Chains A and B, each alone.
Chain A
C-alpha cells in the first residue's frame, strides 16, 4: 500500500498520507466499538443505574415541608429560632394546614416530621383538622391552644430545619444519630440504637460465614486439585450441583433438614444424642442463617481456591520435603502462602455476597438471624419509610463497592471465573 512518497510523507495507495489514513481507520474502529457497546450501556443506564440513583436521591430528598407548606416555609426563612415565631408565621401555618387538609396531602408532612420527632404526625394531622374552623386571626393564640406541642420551641426548630430541600436526617437515623433540642447532632438514646448494631451484626455474621467457608473449602479444594482428573471431575459435581440449584430449593431443603421435626433432629433423637422432648432449635435463629448461608456460599469459595491450587506444581511440596522440612512445616511455609490469592478472592466474594443477602435470612433467620437487607425490605414494604430504606441501602451499597474495589485489585474483574 505504501509505494509512493511525496516530500517525505508516506502515502497510502489512494494518495492520502498514511498517517491520516491510519487515523481514520482507528477512528472508525473506535466508533464501531462504541456503537456495539452503546445499546447495552443505554439499557443498563435506564433499567438499572438510574433506578439506583433514584433510590439514593430519595435518601436525601426532603420535598415534603417545602412543597406542601410553602407559606410557612417562606415565613420561617428569617426566624432566628430563639423564641416562638410571631403572628405572620402562624397565619402562614394556618393557611398551609387548611390547604393541606383540603388536598388531603397534609398527612405526608406529618409522616415526614414524625421521622424526625415522634408525636409530630398526630400534632400536624389533628391541627389540620381543627384548622378548618379558624376563620380569622390573630392565629397565634388559637394555634397554641390547638396542640400543646406548638408551644414547644423544638417543634419549630424541626419544621424550619426541614424546609430545606435536602436532608441528612435519614442518614443520621441510619447511623443511630439524631438532632437534639438545639439542632445539634448527637447519638440516639441507648435503647433506640438499632442500625449500628444491625450493621455490626451483618458484618460479624458475614465474617463468620466467610471464615467457616474458608475452613470447609480449603480441604476439599486441596483434594480436588490433587486427585487425578477422572476422580476430581466426578467430585466436582458435589460442588457444582449445589451451585446450580435454585436458592429457594436449597433454602427449602435446609428447612426440611433443620426444623424441630426435621431430618437432622430425627437422626439425633434416633441415635440418642438429644431426648425426644428437647429437640434442638436449629432454625428461625442465628444458627439456621449461618448453616444455610454457609452451604449456599461454599461453592463461591471452593471454585476460586480450586483454580489457584490447580496452578501450584506438586514438585514444590516434594522439594520442601526432600530438603528436610516435615510435612506440616512444608505445608504452612510453602503451600499455604501460594494459596493466599485464592483465599483472598474467595473470601471477598463470599463476604460481599453475604452482607447483601436477603432471601435466606428472611426465611430461616427468625428474629435473631436477620441482616441489614431484611431491615431495608421492612422499611420498603411495611413501615414505608423510603428515605430511611434509601439511606440504609446507600450505606450498604458503598460498603459493598469498597470491598468490590478490593476484589478487583486482588483478582481483576477480567479473571472472574464462572462455573
Chain B
C-alpha cells in the first residue's frame, strides 16, 4: 500500500521507515523457524549452510536425517510416547475441564473466584516448581517413571486452558435454550449432548488443542518424572541438544513446525466458525 496522497516528504519517509522497522521485527520472528527447514536437508552433519547448499547443488541436499529419524528406535519410541501421553492427557483434561467450566459458569456457583484461581494455578506456577513438587510427591507414591504419572501431571498442566476457553465460550451462551429443552421433556444428559455440546464445541476443541500442545511440547516435568522408557519427543530433543548434537533434531523440528502449522490452521477455522455461529463478523 502506498502512503496517502497528501503526505509530505517527512511523512512519506516515516511511513516507509516504520514499515521497514516492522519488516525487521517480523523477520526476527519468523527466520529462526524457517531456517531450520532447509538446514534439515543438509547432507553434511552441520547446523549451517554449506557452499553446495548455497549453490543449490542437488548433491548437497539429502533426506538422510529424516531416514535417521525414522529408523532410529529411540526417536520412533519417543514419537509413540509423545502421542500416547498427549492424547491420554488431552482426553482427561478436556472431560474434567469442560465439566468444571459448566459448573463455573453457573451463576449460583459459590466461591467462584477462589475456585477459578485454584483451577488455573497450574498455568501460573513456573514449570520448574510444578516439576519439583511433582517429582517429590509422585516418587513418594510410586508414580515416578510411569506413564500414569506423566499423564496425570500433563493433565493437570493442560486443564487450565480447557477451563479458560470453555468458560469464555459459555459467556455468550443463552441459558434459556437448556431451559427450553428441559421444558420440552429432555433429561439433563440429552440436553447436554443435543443442545449445549454442539454450541460450546469450538471452545472445547480449542481447549483440547491447547491441552494437547501443552503436553506434546512439555519437557520440564518429563525431565524430572520420566524414566528412559517414557522419553517423549521434546525430551529426546533435549538430550539431542545436550549430548550428541546431530541434524536429526533439525529434521524432527521441521516435522514439528509442520504440525504447528496444521494446528494453527485448525484453530483459525474454529475461530471463524465460532464467529459465524454467534453472528459476529470477522475481526
Asked whether any CB of chain A lies closer than 8 Å to the CB of B43, the reply is: no
Contact status of A239 and B29, CB under 8 A, knowing A51-B134, A252-B241, A397-B126: yes
Closest to A375 in B: B128
Q: How far is the CA of A400 from the CA of B161 in the complex (A)?
A: 19
Is B118's beta carbon under 8 Å from chain A?
yes
- Taking the complex as formed, is B100 at the interface, i.e. its CB lies under 8 A from any CB of chain A? yes
* A242-260 to B contact mask, C-beta < 8 Å, 1/0: 1011111111111111010
Also in contact, A223 and B19, with CB within 8 A (given A29-B106, A34-B110, A253-B35): yes
A242 touches B103 (CB 8 A): no
Main secondary structure of the interface of B (DSSP, over half): helix
The answer to whether A359 touches B220 (Cβ under 8 A) is: yes
B234 close to A248 (CB less than 8 A): yes
Cα A223 to Cα B26 with chains together (Å): 11
By a CB distance below 8 angstroms, the chain A residues around B126 are: 355-358, 373, 396-397, 400
Question: B210 contacts which of A266, A355, A376, A418 (Cβ < 8 Å)?
Answer: A418
A32 to B110, CA, bound (A): 11
- A130: which B residues are within 8 A, CB to CB? none
Q: Please tell me if the beta carbons of B136 and A58 are within 8 angstroms of each other in the complex.
A: yes
Is B193 on the interface with A (CB-CB < 8 A)? no
User: In the assembled complex, which residues on chain A have CB atoms less than 8 Å from the CB atom of B116?
Assistant: 413-414
For residue A324, CB closer than 8 A to chain B, the reply is no
Is B104 part of the contact surface with A, judged by Cβ < 8 Å?
Answer: yes
Interface: B145 (CB within 8 A):
no
Is A256 a contact partner of B224 (Cβ separation < 8 A)? Answer: no
| Residue in A43, A58, A238, A259 whose beta carbon sits within 8 Å of that of B26 in the complex | A238
Task: Knowing A219-B22, A393-B132, say if A49 contacts B121 (CB, 8 Å).
Answer: yes
Q: 8 Å CB contacts to A: which residues of B136-193?
A: 136-138, 140, 152-153, 155-156, 159, 161, 163-165, 167-168
Contacting pair A47 B155 (CB below 8 A): yes
Please tell me which one of the listed residues B100, B161, B165 contacts residue A39 in the complex, with CB atoms under 8 A apart: B100
The CA of A418 and the CA of B158, in the complex, are separated in Å by 13
B253 CB-CB contact with A under 8 Å: yes
A156 on interface, CB distance cutoff 8 Å: no
Residues of B within 8 A of A340 (CB): none
> A404 touching B124 by the CB < 8 A rule?
yes
Q: Is A241 an interface residue (CB 8 A)?
A: yes
Q: Are B260 and A241 in contact (CB under 8 A)?
A: yes
Inter-chain contact B121/A244, CB cutoff 8 Å: no
Contacts A239-B29, A396-B129 given; indicate if A44 touches B159 (C-beta within 8 A): yes
Interface flag for A214 (CB, 8 Å) = no
Interface size class of A (residues with CB under 8 A): 35 or more
| Known pairs A262-B47, A376-B128; A242 contacts B217 (CB<8 A) | no
Measured between beta carbons, the chain A residues less than 8 angstroms from B132 are 55, 376, 380, 389-390, 393
Which residues in B have their C-beta under 8 angstroms from that of A223?
18-19, 22
Nearest residue, chain B, Cβ from A262: B48
* A295 CA / B132 CA spacing, docked (Å): 26
In the bound complex, CA of A43 to CA of B206 (Å): 21
Contact B213 A40 (CB under 8 A): no
Given A33-B109, A55-B129, A418-B161: A245 touches B119 (CB 8 Å cut-off): no
Cβ of B97 and Cβ of A40 under 8 Å apart?
A: yes
Q: In the assembly, what is the distance between CA of A359 and CA of B22, in Å?
A: 29
B49 within 8 A of A: yes
Q: Indicate whether B99 reaches chain A with its CB closer than 8 angstroms.
A: yes
Let me know if A380 and B135 touch, CB within 8 A. Answer: yes
Interchain CB contact under 8 A, B133 and A257: no
Asked whether B156 lies within 8 Å of A359 as measured between CB atoms, the reply is no
A87, B31: Cα distance in complex, Å: 74
Interface residues of A in 260-275 (CB under 8 A from B): 261-263, 266
**A416-B164 contact, Cβ under 8 Å, with A223-B19, A239-B29:** yes
Say yes or no: is B117 at the interface (Cβ < 8 Å to chain A).
yes
Q: Which residues of A contact B117 (CB under 8 A)?
A: 413
Chain A minimum-CB-distance residue to B36? A253
**Are the C-beta atoms of B106 and A33 separated by less than 8 Å?**
yes
**Interface assignment of B250: CB less than 8 Å from any CB of chain A:** yes
Question: Are A238 and B30 in contact (CB-based, < 8 A)?
Answer: yes
Known: A51-B133, A396-B126. A44 touches B119 (CB 8 A): yes
> Which residues of chain B have C-beta atoms less than 8 A from A363's C-beta?
238, 241-242
Residue of A with least CB distance to B271 = A419
Listed by A's residue number, 25 A-B pairs whose Cβ atoms lie within 8 Å are A37-B109, A37-B115, A44-B121, A47-B153, A49-B118, A52-B125, A55-B133, A219-B21, A241-B260, A242-B33, A245-B33, A247-B217, A252-B36, A253-B32, A255-B241, A259-B47, A266-B48, A295-B28, A356-B125, A357-B126, A377-B128, A380-B132, A397-B125, A400-B125, A419-B210
- Name the 5 nearest CB pairs between A and B, nearest first: A356-B126, A36-B103, A51-B137, A51-B133, A253-B32
Which A residues fall within an 8 A CB radius of B?
26, 29-30, 32-41, 43-45, 47-55, 58, 216, 219-220, 223, 229, 231, 235, 237-242, 244-257, 259, 261-263, 266, 295, 298-299, 327, 352, 355-359, 363, 373, 376-377, 380-381, 386, 389-390, 393, 396-397, 400-401, 404, 413-414, 416, 418-419
